[in-house]
Amino acid sequence: MKTLKSIPTGKVERASKFISTGAKIGANYLKHYVKKTFDPEMSKDELNANNAEDIYETLSEMKGSVLKLAQMLSMDQGMLPKEYVDKFSLAQFQTPPISGPLVAKIFRNSFGKNPEAVFDKFNIHAKHAASIGQVHEAEKDGKKLAVKIQYPGVADSIKSDIKLVKPFAAKLMNVKNNDINRYVEEVENKLLDETNYSLELQQGIEISEACKNIKNLRFPRYFSEYSTHKIITMSWEEGTHLREFINTNPSQELRNQIGQALWDFYMYQNHALKKMHADPHPGNFIISDTGQVIVIDFGCIKQLSEKFYLDFWKLADPAIQHDKEAFDITLRSLEMILPSDSQNKADFYSKLYKEMLAITTKPFAQEEFDFSDDKYMKSMYEYGEYIGSLEEFKKDIEPRGSNHFIYVNRTFYGLYSLLSSIKCKIKTHKGQIPNYLS
């Protein structure tokens, strides 16, 4: 894999990358329609693959928030064609790394010396490279370490990237540009958090200590003395990334053990800590040879307010769902029904949300749930498509829902997608903290 000697950080530089990629995509479409004149039955598979390749190549060179967005989209297998999902999922840990000289420069800026002077051994070639940083192997006092280094200019480019992406997001959501400011601000703040490695170090230490008693879950040990605002050092954890592990066709017992550990981890965080590890993609989890789940990234943590937490879990309560007055009060509190809505519009959304929640909260209504049944995730995709096809929904240009939903929904959808890909059967505790942790 090629290495990058530099990363575009200026607004003009990054905007020009978007423009050049747009030209490539236009050429791909032209070639596709020329071929289609000779073969009317030709599918879009080749076109999608070519576009995905060109887009991913550009984003992997730009790094940062735009590549992070591709990574997030790859988690939603119902939103994009398979060719895009397959390519964008590489952003989780298989992107082009930055070069050795650039790595050494980052170390000199952070520690005032080269990596070989900080550690006894340091592999200048990255072991894994993702959207915001890359991981190197190192050794100190006989301990094998993982050293995560942030790409230069990532934090500085976030605001300009958001400005570039914002009009497209508004068009996708069918709302006015200024109406999504609070949602954009939520995303921008979380992306900035992910570039603050001092914050990630603190979050990693706190959550790993709080969750240390969860069965079949493990965390790396962090070394603050070898960490800075742009570099994090932790113990090297042996194992296989979750996606690769699934491809080894593990036993059902092992699938269930891994899925249970992930479920318990997320329920405990939610209820006991009022926090959520809000980046549940396969690249953030390693499976040990004993079947333990190792959580290796704490850059994106969503803090829940007490009010949002209480309202959110009210919606998962079947008794609230079947009490229209209580249900509608909760929807209004979460800004899912707006003060400006007519009674007809309020009733329309109340019915829609009730149907949607009957699907999305199904695991919380049962003591056990089988995520190996593909029909469940398919039912969510199909209902999403149904909502998008409704004329009342298409005509509504007012954004709905608390800004907290952006990362909370992403987290639960990501968790469901993980469990579905693992094909596990778990005890849900009806969405509460497992008894052994109470």
pLDDT for position 175: 58
Average pLDDT for 213-242: 96
- Report which listed range, 27-31, 54-58, 172-176, is most confident: 54-58
233 pLDDT exceeds 60?
yes
Q: How confident is the model at residue 183 (pLDDT cuts 50, 70, 90)?
A: confident
What lies within 8 Å, CB to CB, of 403 at 6+ separation is 182, 183, 185, 186
- Which two three-digit tokens encode residue 248? 């080894």
Nearest to 263 by CA among 357, 356, 367, 355: 367
316 pLDDT exceeds 90?
yes
408 pLDDT exceeds 70?
yes
Q: What angle do CA 426, 432, 435 make, to 5 degrees?
A: 80
Using the structure block, give the residue that is written with the tokens 């301990």.
143
Using the structure block, give the residue that is written with the tokens 């050092």.
233
Which residue has better confidence, 124 or 160?
A: 124
Residues 38-75: tens digit of each pLDDT: 556 666 777 677 777 767 676 666 665 666 666 665 55
240 pLDDT exceeds 90?
yes
pLDDT for position 45: 72
Residues 188-199: tens digit of each pLDDT: 888 889 999 999
Average pLDDT for 364-372: 94
Specify whether the CB–CB gap between 279 and 302 falls below 8 A. Answer: no
pLDDT for position 185: 85
Q: How confident is the model at residue 105 (pLDDT cuts 50, 70, 90)?
A: very high
- Alpha carbon distance 158, 9 (integer Å): 9
- Alpha carbon distance 158, 66 (integer Å): 8
Percent of the chain whose pLDDT exceeds 90: 57
78 pLDDT exceeds 60?
no
Phi and psi torsions of 126, nearest 5°: -65, 140
Nearest to 71 by CA among 49, 50, 86: 86
As to burial, measured by CB atoms within 10 angstroms (0-12 exposed, 13-18 middle, 19+ buried), residue 142 is exposed
Which residue has better confidence, 222 or 80?
A: 222
Which residue has better confidence, 330 or 183?
A: 330
pLDDT for position 170: 62
Which residue has better confidence, 174 or 129?
A: 129
Using the structure block, give the residue that is written with the tokens 């396969």.
282
- Alpha carbon distance 161, 63 (integer Å): 11
pLDDT for position 38: 56
pLDDT for position 131: 79
- Alpha carbon distance 140, 347 (integer Å): 63
Specify whether the CB–CB gap between 91 and 68 falls below 8 A. Answer: yes
H/E stretch holding 125 = none
As to burial, measured by CB atoms within 10 angstroms (0-12 exposed, 13-18 middle, 19+ buried), residue 260 is buried
Report in angstroms the alpha-carbon separations of 138 from 106, 118, 120, 200, 231: 16, 10, 8, 20, 13
User: Cα-Cα-Cα-Cα dihedral of 58, 166, 88, 194, to 10°?
Assistant: 100
- Report which listed range, 29-43, 145-159, 188-202, is most confident: 188-202
Q: Residue 235 CB: number of other CB atoms within 10 A?
A: 15
Q: Crossing angle, helix 11-38 and helix 154-173, to 10 degrees?
A: 50
410 pLDDT exceeds 70?
yes
Q: How confident is the model at residue 177 (pLDDT cuts 50, 70, 90)?
A: low
11 pLDDT exceeds 90?
no
Query: What 3-state class would DSSP assign to 82?
Result: helix
pLDDT for position 80: 56
Where helices occur in 39-150 by DSSP H, the ranges are: 45-62, 64-74, 82-88, 100-111, 115-118
pLDDT for position 437: 84
Among 122-136, 239-253, 341-355, whose mean pLDDT is lowest?
Answer: 122-136
361 pLDDT exceeds 80?
yes
Q: Residue 198 CB: number of other CB atoms within 10 A?
A: 14
pLDDT for position 89: 62
- Alpha carbon distance 258, 121 (integer Å): 33
